[in-house]
Amino acid sequence: MLTVFSEERLSLFVAEFKGQVLAANLILFSGDTATYLHGGTSDVHREMMAPVLLQWEQMREAKQHGCQWYDFGGVSVSSEIRNQKSKIAGWEGITRFKLGFSSGTAPKVFPGCYDMVIDRGRYGLYLRLRFLQRSLSIFKKFFRG
């Protein structure tokens, strides 16, 4: 992505401490919106709260780009997760982190993604392979633990 988009459109933000990368994020600037596309954090020096500082710096940069909006990307809109009563694997922490920047702001809900089937035979094969992959994953977990 960094080789395709100009630096004015897509930026890589990195948080470091004593030469060690603690967090890194990709932000896309488009019109009046900056969008947080991808990010990753290290478990090292979590007490430094690098992801929080990185987000704030990205918001400051978005303002310098003339953006009026900062899009954190996907969160779970399930009321159970927002109220921290349920744990759906992988989303509870991400959702809590993102909503923590503006807890009074309700997430915008979009219709989601859908597959447009062009070749039913290939799509059927894709679905079967996906089912096998998930089944094998469950099978492995069952026999590991």
* CB-based contact 77:109 (threshold 8 Å): yes
pLDDT tier, 25 (very low <50, low <70, confident <90, very high otherwise): very high
- Length of the chain in terms of residues written: 145
Residues 53-88: pLDDT tens digits?
A: 999 999 999 999 999 999 988 777 765 444 544 445
Asked if 87 and 140 sit in the same domain, the reply is no
Distance CA 59, CA 68 (A): 10
Distance CA 112, CA 142 (A): 31
Distance CA 34, CA 62 (A): 6
* pTM of the predicted model over 0.85: no
The token duo for 48 is 């430094």
Q: Is residue 121 in some structural domain? A: yes
Asked if 44 and 92 sit in the same domain, the reply is yes
How many domains would you assign to the chain? 2
Between 1 and 86, the higher pLDDT residue = 1
Q: Domain span at residue 122?
A: 115-145
